[in-house]
Amino acid sequence: MPATTITNVSPTPADRLYRVAARAAFGLAWVVARGLGATPQALRARTGRLPPATPPLLWLHGASAGEMAAAIGLSAALRAHGHRFTAAYTAANAAGVEFVQRRGGTQAVAALAPWDHPRWVARAFDHWQPRLLLLVETELWPTLILEAARRRLPVFCVSARIYPRDAGRYRLIRALTAPMLQRLTGVLAQDDTERERFVALGMPPECCTVAGNLKYLAATGASRSHGPLPATAAWRRELHLVEGERVVVCGSIHTDELRAVFAALDQLPLDALRVIIAPRHLTATVMITRLAQRRGWRLHRRSAGSVPPGWQLLVLDRVGELAEAYAVASLAVVGGGFGAHGGHNPFEPLLAGAPVIFGPHFDHFAGEARALAAVEPTAQVDGPLQLGQRLLQWWSDPRRCARVLARQRSALPDGAAIARRYVNALSPWLERGGV
Residue 229: band (very low, low, confident or very high) from pLDDT cuts 50, 70, 90:
low
Amino acid 230: pLDDT: 53
Q: Are residues 122 and 177 in the same domain?
A: yes
Amino acid 104: pLDDT: 86
Q: Are residues 189 and 315 in the same domain?
A: no
Residue 8: band (very low, low, confident or very high) from pLDDT cuts 50, 70, 90:
low
Indicate the average pLDDT of the chain: 92
Residue 434 exposed, middle or buried by CB count within 10 Å (0-12, 13-18, 19+): exposed
Amino acid 4: pLDDT: 46
Amino acid 102: pLDDT: 86
Amino acid 221: pLDDT: 42
5 lies in some domain: no
Q: What is the mean pLDDT of residues 157-165?
A: 93
Angle at 140 between CA 137 and CA 141, to 5 degrees: 150
Distance set, CA 335 to CA 376, 383, 408 (Å): 18, 12, 18
Q: What is the mean pLDDT of residues 396-425?
A: 96
CB burial readout 291-301, b (16+ within 10 A) else e? bbeeeebebbb
Q: Are residues 72 and 200 in the same domain?
A: yes
Q: Long-range contacts of range 29-32, CB-CB < 8 Å, 24 or more positions apart? A: 29/115, 30/115
Residue 228: band (very low, low, confident or very high) from pLDDT cuts 50, 70, 90:
very low
Q: What is the mean pLDDT of residues 155-172?
A: 92
Amino acid 224: pLDDT: 36
Half-sphere exposure of 167 (CA within 13 A, CB side): 16
pLDDT over 70 (residue 238):
yes
Q: Are residues 356 and 258 in the same domain?
A: yes
4 lies in some domain: no
Amino acid 12: pLDDT: 93
In angstroms, the CA 220 to CA 347 distance is 13
405 lies in some domain: yes
Domain residues for the domain of 280 are 224-409
Q: What is the mean pLDDT of residues 65-82?
A: 95
Task: Supply the CATH number for residue 325's domain.
Answer: 3.40.50.2000
Residue 223: band (very low, low, confident or very high) from pLDDT cuts 50, 70, 90:
very low
If one counts every other C-beta atom within 10 angstroms of the C-beta of residue 224, the result is: 18
150 lies in some domain: yes
pLDDT over 80 (residue 276):
yes
Q: What is the mean pLDDT of residues 378-396?
A: 95
pLDDT over 70 (residue 180):
yes
Q: Long-range contacts of range 193-201, CB-CB < 8 Å, 24 or more positions apart? A: 193/366, 193/367, 194/160, 194/161, 194/162, 195/160, 197/161, 197/162, 197/167, 198/157, 198/160, 198/162, 200/167, 200/171, 201/162, 201/167, 201/170, 201/171, 201/174, 201/177
pLDDT over 60 (residue 309):
yes
pLDDT over 50 (residue 225):
no
Proportion of the chain above pLDDT 90, given as a percent: 84
Q: Are residues 277 and 370 in the same domain?
A: yes
Q: What is the mean pLDDT of residues 404-421?
A: 96
Q: Are residues 240 and 386 in the same domain?
A: yes
30 lies in some domain: no
Amino acid 36: pLDDT: 95
Pick the range with the lowest mean pLDDT from 7-11, 19-23, 128-132, 166-170: 7-11
CB 58 within 8 A of CB 75: yes
Amino acid 158: pLDDT: 99
Q: Are residues 370 and 242 in the same domain?
A: yes
Q: Are residues 353 and 389 in the same domain?
A: yes
19 lies in some domain: yes
Q: Are residues 242 and 336 in the same domain?
A: yes
Amino acid 261: pLDDT: 97
pLDDT in tens, 327-339: 999 999 999 999 9
329 lies in some domain: yes
Q: Are residues 202 and 65 in the same domain?
A: yes
Q: How many domains does the chain have?
A: 2
pLDDT over 70 (residue 1):
no
Q: Are residues 252 and 199 in the same domain?
A: no
Q: Are residues 331 and 208 in the same domain?
A: no
Amino acid 373: pLDDT: 95
Angle of helix 366-375 relative to helix 398-409, nearest 10 degrees, comes to: 130
Distance set, CA 364 to CA 138, 338, 360, 391 (Å): 13, 13, 12, 24
Q: What is the mean pLDDT of residues 259-282?
A: 94
Question: Going by C-beta distance under 8 Å and a sequence separation of 6 or more, which residues neighbour residue 280?
Answer: 252, 253, 254, 255, 335, 336, 341, 344
Residue 231: band (very low, low, confident or very high) from pLDDT cuts 50, 70, 90:
low
Task: Supply the CATH number for residue 120's domain.
Answer: 3.40.50.11720
389 lies in some domain: yes
Q: What is the mean pLDDT of residues 1-17?
A: 71
pLDDT over 80 (residue 79):
yes
CB 365 within 8 A of CB 350: no
pLDDT over 90 (residue 6):
no
- Find the DSSP H helices in 353-383: 366-375
Residue 244: band (very low, low, confident or very high) from pLDDT cuts 50, 70, 90:
confident
